[in-house]
Amino acid sequence: MKVHFLDVGQGLSILVQSGGQTMIYDGGDKSTSSFVVSYLQKQNVTTIDYLISSHYDSDHMAGLIGCLSAFDVKNVISSDYEHDSKLYQSFIQAVADQGLTMQHPAVGTEFSFGTGSFQILAPATIDPDDSNKNSVAIKLTNGENSFIFTGDAESTSEAAMCASGIDLSCDVLVPGHHGSATATSWDFLQATVPEYAVISCGKDNQYGHPAKDVMDKLESMDIQVYRTDEQGTIVAVSDGTTITWNQEPCNDYTPGEKEDQGTQTQKAETENSSSSGTNTGKSGKSSSKSKAADASAGSSIQITATPQVTEAPQDTSSTSNEEMVWITATGSKYHNKNNCGRTDPSKASEISRSEAESRGYEPCKKCFG
């Protein structure tokens, strides 16, 4: 089984060939659509047995439209929501032009594929207002080897995957949402424990992907890292027991944005408290939720991870009369509240003002003006 992580800049596209069958999971954005088609042609692809659209954002879907017109497609698997875009209309038109109907298989559904199989991991639920959260995630298995692709799924979807009872352990994980801090939670990493992570993102992308939080987690778990932004297209071959790569991992754990300070210490605490049940707002699924966290494992990784990142913030507790401010994973300003402007409160972390200053943050003009 040959898995190609195509370099489509800021986007995602994965080609899988096995036992004469072909799968494409996402097709990258418009700008790389013709590259994807010609790449597949160079691999002698004529038929795509499974064309999987994780979700309908253009950086994942645009290139699939090109594939639908260039190749004979047998099955289209996609997420069960509608997207308000011309591109989405083009996609459903291209599917119809092939005489196909989109399939939205339920979590747990298995398909045989080549010398192996794949199983649907997500989405368990649909949020009509949040494209990323609806991403179709799959676990691809070949003998003892397995790969997990989650599109732009975020930590809420990861929690649902953990709660599904499906074995998530894998050799290769593509961290969700191009390595954004909204994905790749500790619980999910603890459940997947990959040996390798392949990050698909664009060089110097405007989103700062991958996030320092994610890279810190990967580094602290000694997960080997490949990155399309630095290494171009990456190819892995599984013979059922061993995975062989076309190049060495770069193991570059630096975030996309140099100023990204991460929030790991804070985050570990937050996630700890949420797994102990404080975070019940989400619907009455508390039983499955505690199953997800059944993971005493989930908390033990947090414990092992915490000491590795204690360094500076350690002494904040002893300086309790200090002025406290809020920072975010990617911002360069500090705020006097955790929901200033577009700041997401769940991603903000509180540190002392002097600590913020010393780390190079500047006061937000809105809060401190």
Question: Which C-beta is closer to Zn ion: that of 132 or that of 263?
Answer: 132
29 touching Zn ion, by CB under 5 A = no
Contact letters for Zn ion, residues 143-162 (x by CB under 5 A): ---------x----------
Helix (H) or strand (E) holding 353: helix 353-358
Residue 18 backbone dihedrals phi, psi, to 5 degrees: -160, 130
Q: Does 171 bind Zn ion (CB under 5 A)?
A: no
Considering only 58-66, 139-147, 265-273, 312-320, which stretch makes contact with Zn ion by CB under 5 A? Answer: 58-66
Q: How many residues bind Zn ion (CB under 5 A)?
A: 4
Which residue, 174 or 327, has its beta carbon nearer to Zn ion? 174
Backbone CA torsion sign across 245, 152, 112, 191? positive
* Farthest CA pair distance, the chain: 68
Per CB under 5 A, 59 contacts Zn ion: yes
* Residue 177 or 335 having the CB closest to Zn ion: 177
| Cα distance from N-terminal residue to C-terminal residue, the chain | 58
Which residues pair with residue 51 across a beta bridge?
Answer: 24, 76
Q: Which of 29, 57, 271, 355 binds Zn ion (CB under 5 A)?
A: 57
Q: Which residue stretch of 59-67, 197-205, 273-281, 285-293 sits at the interface with Zn ion (rule: CB under 5 A)?
A: 59-67
Q: Are the C-beta atoms of 1 and 18 separated by less than 8 Å? A: yes
Alpha helix segments (H runs only) across 2-154? 33-42, 58-70, 86-97
If one asks whether residue 271 binds Zn ion (CB under 5 A), the answer comes out as no
Instruction: Determine if 355 is a binding residue for Zn ion (CB under 5 A).
Output: no
User: CB of residue 131 vs Zn ion: minimum separation in angstroms?
Assistant: 5
State yes or no: residue 228 binds Zn ion (CB under 5 A): no
Contacts with 295 (C-beta within 8 Å, 6 or more apart), sequence order: 162, 187, 190, 191, 275
Shortest reach from residue 163's CB to Zn ion, in Å: 23
Residue 96 Cα to chain centre, angstroms: 29
The rounded Cα 60 to chain-centroid distance in angstroms is: 12
Binding segment toward Zn ion, per CB under 5 A, in 15-23, 128-136, 159-167, 352-360: 128-136
Nearer to Zn ion, 175 or 194 (CB): 175
The radius of gyration computed from the CA coordinates of the chain, to the nearest angstrom, equals: 21
> Which position among 22, 132, 156, 184 is part of the footprint of Zn ion (CB under 5 A)?
132
Pair of tokens at residue 77:
């698997």
Q: Which positions touch Zn ion (CB under 5 A)?
A: 57, 59, 132, 152
